[in-house]
């Protein structure tokens, strides 16, 4: 009898939650980089890879907010998101302060993912419910679906400057080195996501997130290279009523 009552209560709670589901289409910008960590006896040191820096990207997706209590809810999402990094390298040969030859290259790597965060969300209402503040945290699961490498190289030699540009597609899930593709060995990318945000006038949602990638992009002994992403999005939450 107790089991029947429990099952009935769960079904009833699920029906109420379904009636209160909020859909959140959203879009925004990403600021991403990759971090390289050299493993060592002290746990290793993390730093930007080479002379790498952050790059801008975009993200678009939809979230589904499902209330558990008045303040706590579960929010799974599905998004297209761009990660990656920018990098530059400069090498020169000089005699008595005069540069005889130099090599300069600027690269930008865009890694496209389909990402599904599953977040716990805690919300506090302010200003008589017209403004809500929230925090989110939880795991994210991403699948690499493509991308692009853009590289511009300048070579100065014997008084002549030559500049060349190159574009290559990103290939996930391969360990074969290719001259015409940028290869990323791991297609999947598991991360931990945290963020804060606000819903203004029950109509506009602004959200700031940080995702710390936990998956090594390449299976290299002693070296960990992982994604790091900030994202800034604006959404329009709405609830479908019966």
What range does the domain containing 200 cover?
Answer: 2-239
Rg (the chain; Cα; Å): 23
Q: How many domains does the chain have?
A: 1
119-154 pLDDT, tens digit per residue, is 999 999 987 778 999 999 999 999 999 999 999 999
Tokens 């530059």 map to which residue? 88
Tens digit of pLDDT at every position of the chain (242 positions)? 454 444 444 444 544 445 589 999 999 999 999 988 876 555 555 545 445 689 999 999 999 999 999 999 999 999 999 999 998 888 877 776 676 788 788 999 999 999 999 999 999 998 777 899 999 999 999 999 999 999 999 988 877 889 999 999 999 988 777 778 899 999 999 999 999 999 998 899 999 999 999 999 998 878 889 999 999 999 999 987 76
C-alpha dihedral, 86 to 145 to 204 to 56, nearest 10°: 10
Are the beta carbons of 69 and 34 closer than 8 angstroms? no
Q: Which residue, among 63, 67, 60, has the nearest Cα to 118 in the 3D structure? A: 63
Are the beta carbons of 37 and 224 closer than 8 angstroms? yes
The Cβ-side half-sphere exposure at 229, using a 13 Å CA radius, reads 32
Give CB contacts under 8 A, 24+ apart, made by 183-188: 184/111, 184/144, 184/217, 184/218, 185/217, 185/218, 185/219, 186/144, 186/215, 186/216, 186/217, 186/218, 186/219, 187/143, 187/144, 188/141, 188/142, 188/143, 188/144, 188/215
Separation between Cα atoms, residue 147 and residue 113, nearest integer Å: 9
Q: Which residue, among 189, 228, 231, has the nearest Cα to 206 in the 3D structure? A: 231
- Which residues, including other chains, have CB under 8 Å from residue 68's CB and lie 6 or more apart? 17, 74
Q: Which residues pair with 87 in a beta bridge?
A: 107
Three-state DSSP state, 1:
coil
């Amino acid at each position: 009898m107790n089991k029947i009552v429990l099952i009935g209560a769960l079904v009833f709670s699920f029906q109420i939650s379904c009636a209160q589901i909020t859909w959140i289409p959203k879009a925004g910008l990403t600021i991403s980089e990759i971090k390289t960590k050299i493993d060592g006896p002290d746990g290793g040191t993390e730093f930007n890879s080479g002379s790498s820096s952050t790059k801008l990207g975009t993200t678009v997706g939809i979230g589904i907010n499902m209330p558990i209590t008045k303040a706590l809810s579960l929010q799974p999402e599905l998004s297209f998101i761009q990660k990656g990094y920018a990098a530059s390298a400069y090498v020169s040969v000089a005699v008595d302060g005069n540069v005889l030859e130099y090599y300069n290259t600027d690269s930008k790597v865009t890694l496209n993912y389909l990402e599904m965060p599953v977040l716990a969300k805690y919300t506090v209402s302010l200003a008589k419910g017209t403004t809500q503040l929230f925090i989110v945290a939880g795991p994210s699961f991403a699948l690499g679906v493509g991308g692009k490498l853009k590289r511009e190289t300048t070579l100065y030699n014997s008084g002549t400057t030559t500049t060349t540009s190159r574009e290559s597609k990103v290939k996930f899930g391969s360990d074969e080195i290719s001259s015409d593709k940028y290869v990323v060995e791991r297609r999947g990318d598991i991360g931990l996501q945290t963020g804060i945000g606000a819903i203004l006038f029950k109509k506009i949602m602004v959200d700031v997130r940080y995702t710390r990638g936990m998956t090594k992009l390449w299976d290299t002994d002693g070296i960990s290279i992982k994604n790091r992403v900030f994202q800034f999005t604006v959404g329009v939450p709405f609830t479908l009523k019966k």
